[in-house]
Amino acid sequence: EGPTKGGWRLSDDGVIDGYSRGTMKLVQSTEDYRRHMNLKPYVLEGVRTSADGTQTKENETEIATAEQETNIERKQSGAVFRPGDEAPSVLDEIAKKNEKLMEERKNEGEQPFIPFIRWEGTLDTRVGENSKATRSGFCAARSPEFPLPINLKNNYNALEIMCRSDGRTYTVNLKISTFMPDDLYQGYITVPPTHKPGAAICERTGGEFVTLFVPFSTMILTSQGRMREVQRELDGLIKIENVGITLMDNVDGDFQFDLARIRAVNVVQGEVIEKDQEEEKKNQDGDDSMSNRFASTSE
């Protein structure tokens, strides 16, 4: 097993003399993200200092830049506009574009930063020269062991994962309390790339996340990487010891997976039923039951 990062443990096929490697980083703020991406510090509000030492408020700089763009486009269009004249349509278009630009910048600034774990590296399926293995090519990340296994008490039926994926097939692993120490329940994360190649990505947040569900009923019982012949249903009475993610899709190349949240949830018709909603439903069902009993005794 590999190094520990923030309680998470990394492993790869280096244990069998392979060449795959992965790293993990906790990104807690915009500053962390921009440092990781080798970008300049992001300043949303405050004072900007230009090369000549002039200090300008951020919003004043954006407005000035927008006005400069308007003047340049006006000159390029050849339009002549005098006070009292009706503005040509080209100026209307320029004004609308700048207004839209400023609104987009404002909305971007209002989007909260969501902390996440960035797991990235390279998968290499070559078998090492001194390896006794016949196949190679995997990287894995595993959460810390929970001090006390998390008892779901039959209240949950799926895992909810908020992530950004590169489109590769990842395996989510669920280690539960069992008499069989090698037992591991596995499900699959198969979603398109969160960001298409070449797409613009927000340099402040890293872009949007997607939320997906892995129902317990779809998870497969495995042992030492192989599916067990006799499957045991994964129900809501399990006790979770740890969770993990593995990449072993047999495809050479770089990978990147951002994990913002993973939790057990109760999903009904594609929607998460929160605890307060469950309590409200139970109370409502109880009231309905009482009403029915009262009605039956009154007849």
Which one, of 41, 19, 43, 22, lies nearest residue 32 by Cα?
Answer: 41
Q: Residues for the chain: how many in total? A: 299
Which one, of 162, 42, 43, lies nearest residue 114 by Cα?
Answer: 162
Identify the pLDDT of residue 106. 56
CA distance 152 to 171: 21
Q: In the predicted model, what is the mean pLDDT of residues 159-176?
A: 94
72 has a pLDDT exceeding 70: no
194 phi-psi bin (left φ>0, alpha ψ -120 to 50, beta other) = alpha
Q: In the predicted model, what is the mean pLDDT of residues 165-180?
A: 90
Q: In the predicted model, what is the mean pLDDT of residues 233-256?
A: 89
CA distance 116 to 33: 10
Q: What is the pLDDT of residues 276-290, one digit of tens each?
A: 555 555 555 555 544
Identify the pLDDT of residue 99. 64
In the chain the domains, ranked by start, together with CATH numbers, are 4-38+110-273 (2.60.120.430)
- For residue 53 the two structure tokens come to 């030492």
3-state secondary structure the chain: CCCEECCEEEEEHHHHCCCCEEEEEEECCHHHHHHHCCCCCCCCCCEEECCCCCEEEHHHHHHHHHHHHHHHHHHHHCCCCCCCCCCCHHHHHHHHHHHHHHHHHHHHHHCCCCCEEEEEEEECCCCCCCCCCCCCCCEEEECCCCCCCEECCCCCCEEEEEEEECCCCEEEEEEECCCCCCEEEEEEECCCCCCCCCCCCCCCCCCCCEEEEEEHHHCEEEECCEECCCCCCCCCCCEEEEEEEEECCCCCEEEEEEEEEEEEECEECCEECCHHHHHHHHHHHHHHHHHHHHHHHHC
63 has a pLDDT exceeding 50: no
Identify the pLDDT of residue 81. 42
Identify the pLDDT of residue 284. 56
Cβ-count burial 57-77 (b if 16+ within 10 Å, e if not): eeeeebeeebeeeeeebbeee
| pTM score | 0.70
Identify the pLDDT of residue 159. 92
Identify the pLDDT of residue 224. 80
- Angle between the 58-77 and 89-110 helix axes, to the nearest 10 degrees? 160
User: In sequence order, what are the beta bridge partners of 247?
Assistant: 139, 170
| Rounded alpha-carbon distances, angstroms, from residue 144 to 141, 175, 242, 243, 272 | 10, 11, 6, 8, 26
Identify the pLDDT of residue 233. 81
Identify the pLDDT of residue 244. 94
173 has a pLDDT exceeding 90: yes
Q: In the predicted model, what is the mean pLDDT of residues 206-232?
A: 89
Q: In the predicted model, what is the mean pLDDT of residues 83-98?
A: 52
Identify the pLDDT of residue 232. 83
Question: Please, is 91 exposed, middle or buried when counting C-beta atoms within 10 Å of its C-beta (0-12, 13-18, 19+)?
Answer: middle
